[in-house]
A and B are shown apart, each in its own frame.
Chain A
Amino acid sequence: MRARISSLRDHVLARHLAAALLGLVVVVMVLESVSDYRNTQLASMAYLGIAAGGLTVLTGLNGQLSLGHGALMAIGAYTSALLLPDNESSLPLSVVVLVAVVVTLAVGAAVGLAAARLHGPYLAGATLALAVAVPGIALYFKETLGGEQGLRVVMPDIPVWVLDAVFFVTGQDLTRSRFTAYVAWLTLIVVFVLLANLGAGRTGRRWRAVRDDEVAAELAGIDLGRARVSAFMVSAAAAGAAGAILAFTVKLAAPSAFTLTLSLTLLAAIVLGGLGSLAGALIGAALLTFLPSVVTDIGTDAGLSDIQAAELAPLVYGLVMVAVILLAPAGIVGSLRGALLRARARRRTPASAEPPATGTTSGTGTTTDPHADTTETAGTTPATTSKGTAS
């Protein structure tokens, strides 16, 4: 039995890695075939996706609500900006991202320690304070952090071996925006594999146990505080990576980028996509990245003035949000998966026996499972689905 379980766990990792490899191939194909402008947009989608992925783990898997993830991204972004002040800095971008992650992780640990004692609206309030306060720090320490105008981020030249390698594989010269998009999406893939693995493993089960029933979890020997703090730290680390990617993409770390709106945007992304689902986080990020520019373009083409077209975007965004909440309360991925499961269950009811659950590693609420792989959730019942969304 133990051997079986451990082989299953290996299998989960292998599946995540295979998905990551597939994702990588798709990313290469997409990034190589679209224009420089789309590459920049895709890089923006990646950083929103990374941060939303981290937040969806915190909110979806552990049930903690954070309104302060924008502030955590700011910490990642400012760390990167301080490390990349001019062309002379020789730090590789991977190191910059790592340092940004570590610094944000440390801040996340401190905030998480406080957050672990709070619930519901109190937690939301505390993280809200973080979102409001952190941009103020940049204004206060104007000399080092650049004040209102922020810090410029100077991207180092693309290493020659990267240029050569990319040309060898694709036959195209690597432009700067495409390079940034590659860095962004590689980071996204790494972060998502790590998050998916954490979520599918023992840590993830603990997080879910704490989310679903604190008393039961405590009786089962789970340290509530530790589970909460660890979830917050992991989530903060993802936000730090996202902040670093934001700095690379926008080439600026300024307080105006990290307003409360950003934190709320992230929350909107995971609600739109489906709480607890990494795929949902990605879909939400895509919507938030592409919707405004598409709507503005449609508005301009329809003969609206520039100002009217600019005002159309927030309106449509709000309407989409309302529509999703009304029509698909579990978010896009959550509702799709629910529909899929219901269809399967209906097909299967004539058969006598319910097949056994796929394995102990994935038996809990399906909508809250961090990866959208339907093969894994095939064995669970619609009942668990609705339980997951209720949290």
Chain B
Amino acid sequence: MTRHIRGTGPLVATLAAALALTACGAGGRDSSDGEAAAADPGVTEDTVTIGGTFPLTGVAAPGYSEIPTGAQAYFDFVNEQGGVHGRQIDYIVKDDGYNPTNTSTVTNELVLKEEVFATVGSLGTPTQASVADYLNDEGVPQLMVSSGSLQWGDDVENRPMTFGWQPDYEIEGKIIGQWVAENMPDAKVGLFLQDDDLGEDAEKGVRQFVDDQIVAVERYTSGNTDVAPQISGLQAAKADLVLAFNTPSYTALSQLVALKTGYKPKWFYANIGSDPALVGSLLERFSEGAVAGSSSALDGVLTTEYIPGIDSPEDPWVQLWQKVWDEHGEGGELTNYRIYGMSQAYAFVQALEAAGEDLTREGLVEAIEEQGADWEGPQLAPFRYSADSHMGIAGVRVVELKGGKGEDLTDVLVTDIGEDAEITTDDSGQADDAPPESGVPTS
């Protein structure tokens, strides 16, 4: 008994002391906390710090983990030439393993600890959806999200700081749908969809044109690697054209299952799932070598493209990327994912240029809204940025893969979300422009 009482002595003393410490509070709370705003976080005279979250580890890492290495190489390239308005770009990459809960944690870290000016190019629909409201509440620009979901650009009022980048899945679905209706009107269409925004948005677009041609719709849940039931479903419905909106792993999986069951429809994979090099290597890995992993594994497959890739080495943009990668890359080949990262980085540098010397978050957002639609760049079609829309690239071109290369089947087609927006041939000349001599955009 006595031991207990003796033990509580110091305890009480500590408690009292600590209480006294914490009680040194002030009276009422001052409600006017609006002091003159200092510079926005992440900006100094000679640096601007930005961040991004990507799956560097885990199932989504193959391919996607290369995107930030491309962006980093381009930022290094720009920094070497003096940066933008005298500011060096400091790019901090965090791994979220494609897990929205981790995304929330590491985004917190970027905002609160690293005090980034903006996030640029962060990847994934479920992952970025988990932090979109947080970033907007905190007033942190969430720029050029690496995902084609509609939610990055169609709700400017509620998410004024969020911007998309790549063509959204709905316009891609529309363009694919129209192409099928015009060129393969007798095809029996099967849909193979990832069961989230990707599949939903795309289905909305496709159905505007080929609703009566669709004979089967199969959905898979990302993470479940058995797609045999879905492929058999398409086969049973005798679909002879499969429009597939899925990630690269599922392109490989669906091809493997189709090989096994002897199902030979015409395949039309959306851009997101059709990188021939990655799918080829995945095919080889998944089949344990039974299928040769060359990039010609997807020969005859239809897909779309919206930026020039490694299959067109004579394109001036690709030549610039090759030069940047040779000088600043961290080893390894230039890949389409690295080009994707560089193309995003290029657009961000344009935004920084446009925002001017006095860099603020508000100023940056305004600059993108006002000027973004006119930017030249690697993208084949212009951005749709305006005060009412934060949607990214306006269109795609339909191509057929041959030996890992895309052969153009159409001009660049542009449209917008919604049933009213018509599909037209792009007349902005975006597809034919070339980068400036220095490789760094000027305002």
Contacts and interface: CB of A to CB of B under 8 A. Distances in A.
Interface string B12-41: 001100110111111111000100000000
Nearest to B137: A176
B19 A25 contact: yes
Interface string B249-260: 000000000000
Contacts of B330: 305
Contacts of B432: none
A22 B196 contact: no
B125 interface: yes
B101 interface: yes
B366 interface: no
Contacts of A167: 25-26, 28-29
A119 to B, nearest CB: 32
A61 interface: no
A36 B98 CA distance: 24
Most buried by B among A28, A164, A256: A256
Interface residues of A, number: 53
Given A152-B133, A167-B26, A177-B112, A256 B99 contact: yes
B3 A173 contact: no
A150 B130 contact: yes
Contacts of B57: 307, 310-311, 314
A168 B26 contact: yes
A129 interface: no
A102 B133 CA distance: 29
Main secondary structure of the interface of A (DSSP, over half): helix
A23 B380 CA distance: 60
- In this complex, the interface size class of chain B, counting residues with CB under 8 Å from chain A, is 35 or more
Contacts of B4: 11, 15, 375
Nearest to A148: B196
Given A149-B196, A169-B22, A40 B100 contact: no
Contact of A256 (B7, B8, B126, B195): B126
Contact of B28 (A11, A28, A44, A164): A164
A149 to B, nearest CB: 4
Interface string A144-187: 00011110101000000001100111110100010000000000
Contacts of A148: 126, 195-196, 221-223
Nearest to B106: A293
A375 B7 contact: yes
B56 to A, nearest CB: 4
Contacts of B221: 139, 148
B68 interface: yes
Interface in A285-339: 293, 296, 305-307, 310-311, 314
A16 interface: no
B421 to A, nearest CB: 25
Contacts of A306: 56, 68, 93-95
A171 B129 CA distance: 35
Contacts of A171: 24-26
B232 interface: no
B326 interface: no
Interface in B195-217: 195-197
Nearest to B198: A148
Contacts of B65: 307
Interface string A40-76: 1100100000000000000000000000000000000
B166 interface: no
B108 interface: yes
A311 B330 CA distance: 17
Given A29-B18, A29-B21, A254 B56 contact: no
A169 B95 CA distance: 38
Nearest to B5: A11
Nearest to A261: B99
A353 B18 CA distance: 39
B184 to A, nearest CB: 31
A152 B126 CA distance: 11
18 contacts: A11-B4, A15-B8, A25-B22, A35-B113, A37-B109, A152-B133, A163-B29, A168-B25, A173-B33, A250-B130, A305-B69, A305-B330, A307-B56, A307-B65, A310-B95, A311-B57, A358-B3, A375-B7
Interface of A: 11, 15, 18, 21-22, 25-26, 28-29, 32, 35-37, 40-41, 44, 139, 142, 147-150, 152, 154, 163-164, 167-171, 173, 177, 246, 249-252, 254, 256-257, 259, 293, 296, 305-307, 310-311, 314, 358, 375, 378
Given A154-B133, A167-B26, 10 more contacts: A25-B19, A37-B113, A40-B112, A41-B105, A139-B195, A149-B100, A171-B25, A254-B130, A305-B330, A310-B57
